[in-house]
Amino acid sequence: MTTTRRRVVGIALITGVAVMGDAMLFIVLPLYWQDFGMTALWQVGILLSINRFIRLPITPLVGLFYKRYQMRTGVFIAVALAVITTASYGIVNQFWLLLVMRALWGVAWSFLRLGGFLTVIDVTSDSNRGQFVGLYNGLWGLGGLAGMLAGGILVDQTSVMFVTMLFAMIALITIPFVWYLVPASKNEEQEEKINQTVTKPWLTPYIQMVLATGIALGFIVSGLFASTLSPLIERSHVTEWSFSHITIGAATLAGFVQAIRWGWDPFLAPLLGKMLDSLQSLHRVILIPLIGGGVLFLLLGSVQSIIWLLITLLLFQLISTMFTTTTDTLATSAASRSDHVKVMTAHTLAVDVGAALGPLASFVLLEFYSLSAVYYVAGSLMLLLGVGWIFFKRVES
């Protein structure tokens, strides 16, 4: 295995293990919120959003941290916080204490995500950056696969306490591997290149469009879709299925739908990234997930049949893989020609803003409108952004 691949794989696998508890919560909390001690649906939206909001002020500080301290130190901190917060989901039974734990997970994710992006930028070039962005996203997504699939199934069969303690123990066991899988610091030659670009303007109109796309990515994929998937399936899944005495409820189906994407991402995302490396105009590719995803969201808001719903959800998951890979490749490519830390910090913040607003906006809307209305709004936003990219490139050219 080459040094480039080893560094990307190392940080991706560590991130995947740490994210399992968070991924499980997005499937389980909307359905079992009373078991967590919640008394109202709006509390679910707050808990699923607060970790994103806390990252807004924390991420710039994490960027400064990685300029001064070893990357390995940051990842140690992140995994330790992941163990504590994941265990707390099954132990703590009060809203305000869970709110604190979710905020701590936000700190952990800032260390993991920014460290991962900076690693990819440092060790790649224009000829292979998209491929390794896809590999990184695909591998850490395996944690989402385990968290959502195993979490959804196990909670339906056992209890929230059992699942959260299991995931916390797995994360605890991986802490010693951080020493072997995560590099101590960034490449000195790449660090010198970063310092040379500090004086150049970085917030160009093009980067602003990339950041707007990052906000949409976080809002749609990580926020709204992830937090409303279980209720969406529950609306159409009126009769529970069973297989070999195992109940297949809405949480299980939601786990499967999310897990399928995380399962194919390690294979499909690098292939998509490799295709992006051979293209000159990435902005044209971003139109496919924006317009295609917008249309599919409009369909999701109206479809009632559980079979057609599952088919449409799988199509959107395919679009999500392309959306994520293309957006992150746009950001890392722009960062490679500018101030690495500033651009990637801004991109991470943009995605976090969207991801924070997604669950919160969804559950606030659900207090007054139907679930269909939430998906109609989201689909319209994706189509609007696609039109924005078309007009932007016409003005630029």
Structural contact between residues 157 and 304, judged by C-beta atoms closer than 8 angstroms: no
pLDDT tens-place string over residues 356-386? 788 888 888 888 888 899 999 999 999 999 9
- For domain 3-396, say whether CATH 1.20.1250.20 is its number: yes
Nearest to 69 by CA among 118, 102, 106: 118
- The pTM for the full model equals 0.78
Give the CA radius of gyration of the chain.
20
**Residue 224 corresponds to which amino acid?**
L
Residue 315: predicted pLDDT: 94
3-state secondary structure of 278: coil
Phi, psi of 301 (to 5 degrees): -70, -20
pLDDT tens-place string over residues 280-339? 677 788 999 999 999 999 999 888 888 898 899 999 999 999 999 999 999 988 887 777
Bridge partners, residue 246, by sequence: 243
Average pLDDT in the chain: 84
Task: Determine how β-strand 246-248 pairs with β-strand 241-243.
Answer: antiparallel
Nearest to 170 by CA among 22, 28, 21: 21
Contacts of 69 (CB under 8 A, 6+ apart): none
Structure tokens at 104: 């701590």
Q: Counting Cβ atoms within 10 Å, is residue 124 exposed (0-12), middle (13-18) or buried (19+)?
A: buried
Task: Return d(Cα 108, Cα 85) in angstroms, integer.
Answer: 10
Bridge partners, residue 134, by sequence: none
Q: SS3 for 274-299, per residue?
A: HHHHCCCCHHHHCHHHHHHHHHHHHH
Task: Return d(Cα 176, Cα 309) in angstroms, integer.
Answer: 43
Structure tokens at 306: 């559980």
Structure tokens at 158: 């056992």
**Segment among 58-62, 197-201, 322-326 with least mean pLDDT:** 197-201
For CA atoms 81, 354, 376, 323, the dihedral sign is: negative
72 pLDDT above the threshold of 80: yes
80 pLDDT above the threshold of 60: yes
3-state secondary structure of 22: helix
Nearest to 159 by CA among 36, 307, 67, 245: 36
3-state secondary structure of 238: coil
Q: Counting Cβ atoms within 10 Å, is residue 221 exposed (0-12), middle (13-18) or buried (19+)?
A: buried
pLDDT band at 122; cut points 50, 70, 90: confident
Structural contact between residues 225 and 357, judged by C-beta atoms closer than 8 angstroms: no
Phi, psi of 241 (to 5 degrees): -95, 160
> Rounded to the nearest 10 degrees, what angle do helices 188-196 and 340-366 cross at?
80
Task: Return d(Cα 118, Cα 140) in angstroms, integer.
Answer: 15
Contacts of 124 (CB under 8 A, 6+ apart): 4, 132, 133, 332
pLDDT band at 247; cut points 50, 70, 90: low
Structural contact between residues 269 and 135, judged by C-beta atoms closer than 8 angstroms: yes
Residue 276: predicted pLDDT: 86
Contacts of 184 (CB under 8 A, 6+ apart): 70, 71, 72
Give residue for tokens 């909390």: 29
Residue 187: predicted pLDDT: 46
